[in-house]
A and B are shown apart, each in its own frame.
Chain A
Amino acid sequence: MIKLNVNGQAREVDVDPATPILWVVRENLEMTGTKFGCGIAQCGACTVHLDGKPVRSCSTPVSAAAGKAITTIEGITGEDGTLHRVQKAWIKAQVPQCGYCQSGQIMAAVALLEKNPRPSDTQIDAAMAGHVCRCGMYNRIRQAIKAAAGQPATETAA
């Protein structure tokens, strides 16, 4: 049995330690907010936090989470249901289209703003370029990050 800390709760799962965190979260813990997009860390849809840092859960074995806190998209919303300012900004800017990539995008944006409360366009690019949005909502994602950071909107990076 492997002991995990997921969204602040102690959980136990009976899995092979090599199982990627993505599948443990989705199948053993039945939390489907974290998505499968490519399996080789190329698209970002599977992003969760390990001790607050974004990782690609499709390529990270659950053994790597030993002694660390896993946060998924379900854990971003407050316990009383209050949305994180990033989620609020996402709704205000009407960011999602199909929405499948957005859990990963939001996880990356939350981590970015924790580390850097007022990111420049270049810093936004660096933090978010690893995330594919097939519906192409990149400009709205940028707008929403800036709004959540309390900054004025800009169009794109240089």
Chain B
Amino acid sequence: MSRTETDSTGKKGKWTRRAFIGAGVVAGGALVVGVAVRQGNPIDRLGPLLADGKDEQLLNAWVKVDADNIVTAVIPHVEMGQGVYTALAQMLADEMDADWSKVRILEAPADMQYVSDSIGRDFLLPDLEVPALFEPTVAGGILELAQAMGLQFTGGSYSVRATGQRAMRTAGAAAREMLVAAAASEWQVPASEITTADSMFLHAESGKSEPFSKFALAAAEQSLPAKPRLKSPENYRIMGQPKARHDIPEKVDGSAIFGIDAKVPGMKYAAVKAAPVVGATVASMDATTAKTMPGVLQILNMGDFVAVVADGYWQAQQALNSIETTYSKTEGDSLDQDAIFARYARYLDEAGEDDGDMETEQGDAAKGFAEAAIKVEAEYKVPFLAHATMEPMNCTAWVRDGKCDVWSGHQAPVNARQAAADAAGLAFEDVTYHNAYLGGGFGRRSESDNIVMATRIAKATGYPVKMIWSREEDMAQDHYRPSATSRFRGGLDKYGKAVSWSNIHTHLFDPKDAPTVPYYNIASHRIRKVDVPMQLRFGPWRSVDHSQHGFFIESFVDEMAHAAGKDGYEFRRELLAGSERHLKVLDTAAKMSGWGNALPEKHGRGIAFVPSFGSIVAQVAEVDMSGPKPRVKKVYVAADPGFVINPDGFTAQMESAIAYGLTAALYGEITLGDGKVQQSNFHDYPMLRINEMPAVEVALINGDHKHLGGGGEPGLPPIAPAVTNAIFAATGKRIRELPLSRHSFA
């Protein structure tokens, strides 16, 4: 039987005997909840998911229930250590009333049907409140666009707050309703009399109980509910619990497979070196010695890089090291660190008072500053930063007979698959992309440069090739966090209240609101940017533009506080007056840290407040300045992400972001000389280690369970300014340029 579904949402989907694939017919979050598929579906690209056994029902795109009553959550995101597999499964399992001990997790294949519409909506229509009447039409359009952009991607602290909140929960709730409808039909009782818990149905009146699997087949025949009801927090059983992560056991016994661990029979290995100066190409290659070295199979000049393919990676790298290469000349050959910042200064100077691109303007900030009783001006600079994931960039590829297989750890599997197809000159359908765990993403693995290189090498050789970048190559060929200069003018009235805020800075990528401070009560704002050509390739780095602007803004707020003769905490309280949710976070951090209590001599406390990615975070850093360099002793964190799905996971993300951001604040600096990156490995790009890690105390606040914020990135932006504000409190020395290793504190 087939019927066309036109439910109250007004958009047509198509329900056939075997599958329901509908865009815009939905539920709750206005996206495709359901691709309900049974075995034998001829258009089933999801076939592999059902290959585990017969009698399995793929109820919808996100969940399946098998004959053993195991619920498998199909997660369209990648696990790079942020605990997303588990958090998303918690959201689905809770709404479904599944038995958590019987929940399994599967990463969705790199398939267009798994495109994260939720992310599409957030990227394309942020903050848009769409009237319910129009939801499905908008949803349909969003989905098409998202698919076109190949958006199946993990990053931007989106997985829980978009896919989790909108898709996983809706899918779980829809699955539950369909299951209950099936049980009601079989038992001939009203659905309202059936309760569910731990993957079981119960009909109290008759005492009947059955596992979900009993009616899973029948459930697949049910129509997708238009609006499945989601739980409210008092009914959460699994969300809000510190459930242990599913992927951790394999990460302690060496069995977890990362991109670099791919195994393909007959696989060979490649070491590569790309031109160190961006835009240069290989002018000449002298491989005389390399040809004679052990294990070498091929030596390739690919134009923009040189590759050696050998029986083993080490042999390939040794041979590569022996090759003398010259490169073409470029304009960038003479660029050095000073030249880059001089260029920023020149562009900012030339923008003057009126040019540049206006980002936000409210009131008359120029007038406000001119008439201010107290005037504060400052300029800040931050350097390029490398991602330095623990697992160096790598990719394994095999191109033969019009097909291509690619293995890697990537944040955007659909993009990786397309990049391989383009590089091999094949269609998307001819490529199979195999994703693995990522040994660190941080934004670096959303790029596909490694995919393209490996595919090109594999195409040239005809056999499977695993390309591994040395740490030196990884450091030299990053897509860096951009360096930036930012200039501020702040005006205060005679009571020390902030009245005007003017800012002009270099670049702006993402998120667009990073330089803005709408949450602070300042009468006039004027924020502009100037685009400046950067020598280096750049890309998203954990917390993206918030990493620079968090430092700039919270340092300047502190300078304004000082000029006003006020304490940094009290000054921010005034700026946040009336915003209950923001104040609660700030007050919590201050209270935790014992703000105002005496500290030992040469110790200081600094506070910083940065809302980002939908979460509100305040941090207080306690720094000991009695030695030759700053020692961060402790960091207090108050964080409100709306609702914390997994408290242990979220806490770990705060600790993680602090370590990552503190490494950058203390040491992080990628410098240029002769157009090339000067850093090469961990001895000249130092890392924070266990002996320098501060104690971290985290307080979690559930401020708004309907609007979730992210966890992966919001913990990073406050740490640098919290530390530099603490240094000021302890020593009176104001730091306006990172990293701290540039400064002497003797």
Contacts and interface: CB of A to CB of B under 8 A. Distances in A.
Contact present between A and B (CB < 8 A) = yes
Interface in B281-300: 294-295
B314 A20 contact: yes
B313 A23 contact: yes
B695 A100 contact: no
B44 interface: no
Contact of B683 (A40, A73, A98, A136): A40
B313 A96 contact: no
A38 B261 contact: no
Contact of B440 (A20, A23, A77, A98): A98
A135 B245 CA distance: 16
Nearest to A145: B690
A16 interface: yes
A39 B470 CA distance: 8
Interface in B663-682: 663, 681-682
B693 A139 contact: yes
B113 interface: no
Contacts of B649: 94
B186 to A, nearest CB: 41
A124 B681 contact: no
A101 B389 CA distance: 10
Contacts of A38: 471, 681-682
A96 B470 contact: no
Contacts of A77: 253
B390 A45 contact: yes
A98 B80 contact: yes
A74 B652 contact: no
Contacts of B392: 36-37
Nearest to B249: A91
Contact of A106 (B252, B315, B389): B252
Nearest to B261: A32
Given A16-B294, A27-B313, A139-B655, A132 B249 contact: no
A34 B312 contact: no
Interface residues of A, number: 62
B690 A129 contact: yes
Given A36-B468, A136-B658, A156-B694, A96 B252 contact: yes
Nearest to B314: A23
A144 to B, nearest CB: 10
Contacts of A99: 81, 247-248, 250-252, 256, 437, 439
Contact of A32 (B81, B257, B313, B652): B257
Interface in A1-46: 15-16, 19-20, 22-23, 27-28, 30-40, 42-43, 45
B440 A139 contact: no
B388 interface: yes
Given A94-B248, A99-B248, A138-B659, A87 B253 contact: yes
A135 B440 contact: yes
Contacts of A141: 690
Contacts of A72: 254
Given A33-B253, A34-B254, A74-B254, A134 B689 contact: no
A137 interface: yes
Given A72-B254, A136-B655, A140-B655, A98 B682 contact: no
Nearest to A124: B690
A72 B255 CA distance: 12
Nearest to A92: B244
Interface string B303-340: 00000000011110100000000000000000000000
A132 B390 contact: yes
Contact of B254 (A23, A37, A73): A73
A155 B689 contact: no
Given A33-B255, A34-B254, A136 B314 contact: no
A138 B689 contact: yes
A83 interface: yes
Contacts of B245: 94
Contacts of A102: 251-252
B595 interface: no
A114 to B, nearest CB: 17
A75 B235 CA distance: 45
Contacts of A51: none
B716 to A, nearest CB: 10
20 contacts: A19-B314, A27-B312, A32-B258, A33-B255, A36-B313, A36-B392, A37-B390, A87-B252, A91-B252, A94-B248, A94-B648, A99-B256, A131-B689, A134-B440, A135-B81, A136-B688, A136-B693, A137-B652, A137-B655, A157-B691
Given A37-B391, A94-B652, 8 more contacts: A16-B294, A32-B263, A74-B253, A125-B690, A128-B690, A135-B81, A136-B663, A156-B693
Interface of B: 80-83, 244-245, 247-258, 260-261, 263, 269, 294-295, 312-315, 317, 388-392, 437-442, 468, 470-471, 633-634, 648-649, 652, 655-660, 663, 681-683, 687-691, 693-696
List the 10 shortest-distance A-B pairs measured between CB atoms, nearest first. Answer: A33-B254, A136-B659, A99-B251, A100-B439, A98-B81, A97-B81, A155-B695, A73-B254, A138-B693, A32-B261
